[in-house]
Structure 1
Amino acid sequence: MMFGSEILQGIRPRTSPRSRQAYVTLVTNADYAMGALALARSLSYTTTSADIVVLHTAGVDERDLEPLALIGCRLVEAAHLPLSDDFNERHARGNLHAAAPFTKGRKPSFHSPLDNFCKLRLWQLIDYDTCVFIDADAIVLKNVDRLFEYPEFSAAPNVYESLADFQRMNSGVFVARPSLATFNEMQAMLDRPGAFWRRTDQTFLETFFPDWHGLPVFMNMLQYVWFTMPALWDWNSISILHYQYEKPWEQNHPKADRLKPLIDLWHHIHLGHGVPDVAALANPKEAA
């Protein structure tokens, strides 16, 4: 049986869609499969009516994908984009991090920058009218189906250190409308001669959609806000919590002590214990 998107080059869904809207995430290894399981469980606890789609690369082991299929996720295999050798060399982990080093936090060893560009295959998911992309290192704390009403392209600011961060976009959560025409335009722009996307998909999307629409910061609350801007943290307002930089499932976590309440929350959801009453959680100053 062939499904609408299956005939499109570069993606291969296993099942048909059940909705015209979808939450989409990306899994490129076993670590992000763990993250995606927590994300998918958190979404299911919010009683969303949208599909939960997991784009995954061919290198992800079937054993790591099985728990996602068992809870009803729609698995869609996504090939890496057909990029030039020069592009791949510029954006390889060692070269990219040397040219654009991370100075505020540590990217884990399993992070492969080139994988990030697979996010763009979301625009090939033309079975859907609207998609909300959420990084696999995030969890949803309340129903956010209203995001499907936002325009393309909507994303939250990259706020994790100061109010000046509101000028930049974070691509961990965004709203998009699948379109083959848009996807083809993206491919043409992405691999232009000499192109260098400093923060991979994030820099590219910010450039491709220069008039991006701002989502509330609470739709993509970055974990560092917990200790860098504690006055901004309000559990009653946070809808999506994004574990940027260090991941909550890492054993060797350099900021584990400072982020313990957030890490404990992730494990609670990952183990299938549901989303706790966030109104009862202590904000940073209360938890200190």
Structure 2
Amino acid sequence: MMMGAELLKGIRPATTAGSREAYVTLVTNRDYAMGATALARSIRLTGSSADVVVLFTGGVEADALLPLDRLGCRMVEVEHLSLSDGFNQRHARGNLHANAPFTKGRKPAFHSPLDNFCKLRLWQLIDYETCIFIDADAIVLRNVDRLFDYPEFSAAPNVYESLADFHRLNSGVFVARPSLATFDDMLRNLDQPDVFWRRTDQSFLESYFPDWHGLPVFMNMLQYVWFNLPDLWDWRQIGILHYQYEKPWEKDHPKAAALKPLIDLWHAYYTGYGIPEIASLSKPEQAAA
């Protein structure tokens, strides 16, 4: 077991906390810095008074982070977790995707599975009582501050193809209570001999919190619902839209035509121009027509 000072290593906040609650995201490269810019702007537009915290790794150039600083985000530099060589080898991009291939969508070339475990550093943010983690490839469409009242660990189901997937969590949005004791325990459970987390942080968190509390699916609406489960899509209820698999900033990706209304919406939040009234947007069947 590590001591308190050791458990605060690997994380370097640039400023002090301005609230007891925070939205937290993770930026590991220039692409996700673009995503986080749209996300941060979307949170600001909801009128939330919570901090917006950006965990960023050394793989991000300083100029890519400037838009986030201008949006008033709290910038926190983080290191990769100190994990065994065997763990890192098993979860490297080539090995992980060979042993657990994605068959439902395409992961972009900039995706690095080992980066995902940096999410666990959220539990080191002990100057906050509650954090809502949101992946940088998501946008917030209305105020969701009520999620701060949800228990740890709360997450939405990984529903994008079938309602049968309600039993699986998606770690793109979750509610957590920072704690060095929890962080220490997580590290001891994460890097076990020969362990293989098939979906990286998602598989680990589902295992670590087996009794996870379910958030409404609208709090992490996965973009493939748009064409796979269109009857589930209701703009009036969606709080967070998550662009899983292909990213909205990618050029001409395989699902670009099918997802054009969602891609256009992301670009409006990224640029800050032409953001529509969400409730007035067309439903999937109307957009297809």
User: Is this a same-fold pair by TM over 0.5?
Assistant: yes
SS at match of 1:95: helix
Amino acid at match of 2:186: M
Q: In the alignment, what sits opposite 1:77? A: 77
TM-score (norm 2): 0.97
Specify every segment of 5 or more residues in structure 1 that has no aligned partner in the other structure, as ranges. none
CA distance, structure 2, for counterparts of residue 24 and residue 285 of structure 1: 34
Match of 1:248? 248
Per-residue deviation, residues 24-50 of structure 1 (Å, max 9, x unmatched): 000000000000000000000001010
Alpha-carbon distance, 1:273 to partner: 2.3
2-structure distance, mates of 1:283, 1:6: 51
Other-structure match for 1:64: 64
1:45–1:274 Cα contact (<8 Å) kept: no
Which residue does the alignment assign to 1:180?
180
Kindly provide the amino acid, as one letter, of the partner of residue 258 in structure 2: R
Q: Secondary structure at the match of 2:52?
A: strand
Residue in structure 2 matched with residue 203 of structure 1 by the alignment: 203
Q: Is the alpha carbon distance of 1:210 and 1:167 closer, same or farther for their aligned partners in structure 2, counting shifts above 3 Å?
A: same
1:141–1:241 contact (8 Å) kept in structure 2:
yes
**SS in structure 1 opposite 2:172?**
strand
In structure 1, what residue type is equivalent to 2:68? L
2 CA distance for matches of 1:252 and 1:100? 25
**Preserved contact between residue 218 and residue 237 of structure 2 (Cα < 8 Å):** yes
Within a 5 Å distance, the mapping from 1:159-238 to structure 2 comes to 159-238=159-238
Contact in 1 for aligned 2:7/2:180 (Cα 8 Å):
no
Query: Counterpart of 2:118?
Result: 118
Shift of residue 234 of structure 1? 0.6
Task: Show the counterpart of 1:8.
Answer: 8
Give the ranges of 4+ consecutive aligned residues of structure 1 lying more than 4 Å apart after TM superposition.
4-7
Instruction: Give the residue type in structure 2 aligned to 1:111.
Output: H
Deviation of the 1:6 alpha carbon = 11
- Return the alpha-carbon distance in structure 2 between the equivalents of residues 246 and 36 of structure 1: 15
Cross-structure match for 2:108: 108
* Contact persistence 1:45–1:275 (CA under 8 A): no
Measure the CA separation in 2 of the matches of 1:273 and 1:5: 45
Work out the CA distance in 1 between the residues paired with 2:279 and 2:170: 26
Partner Cα distance (2:165, 2:275) in 1: 29
Q: Distance in 1 between matches of 2:275 and 2:239?
A: 11
- Shift of the 5–59 alpha-carbon distance from structure 1 to 2, 3 Å rule, reads farther
Structure 1 contact 91–113 (Cα < 8 Å) conserved: yes
> How high is the TM-score relative to the length of structure 1?
0.97
Q: Distance in 1 between matches of 2:193 and 2:57?
A: 26
Q: CA–CA distance in 2 between the matches of 1:65 and 1:229?
A: 36
1:5, 1:13 within 8 Å by CA — same for their partners in 2?
no
Shift of 1:276: 2.1
- Partner secondary structure for residue 261 of structure 1: helix
Q: 1:281 to 1:93 in 2, by over 3 A?
A: same
Structure-2 change in CA distance of 1:269 and 1:163 (3 Å)? same
Change (3 A) 1:7 1:100: closer
CA distance in 1, matches of 2:44, 2:5: 24
Structure 1 vs Structure 2 CA RMSD: 1.4
User: Match of 2:157?
Assistant: 157
Specify the code of the residue in structure 2 equivalent to 1:19.
S
Matched to 2:31, the amino acid is: D
Cα distance in structure 1, aligned partners of 2:92 and 2:60: 19
- The code of the aligned residue for 2:18 comes to R
Aligned AA (1:277): E
- Asked if the contact 2:83/2:191 (under 8 Å) is kept, the reply is yes
How far does residue 105 in structure 1 lie from its aligned partner after superposition? 0.1
Shift of 1:278: 1.0
Could you give the per-residue CA deviations for residues 169-189 of structure 1, whole angstroms, max 9, x where no partner exists? Answer: 000000000000000000000
The letter of the residue matching 1:16 is: T
Deviation at 1:275, TM superposition (A): 4.2
Contact 1:57–1:78 (8 Å) recurs in 2:
yes
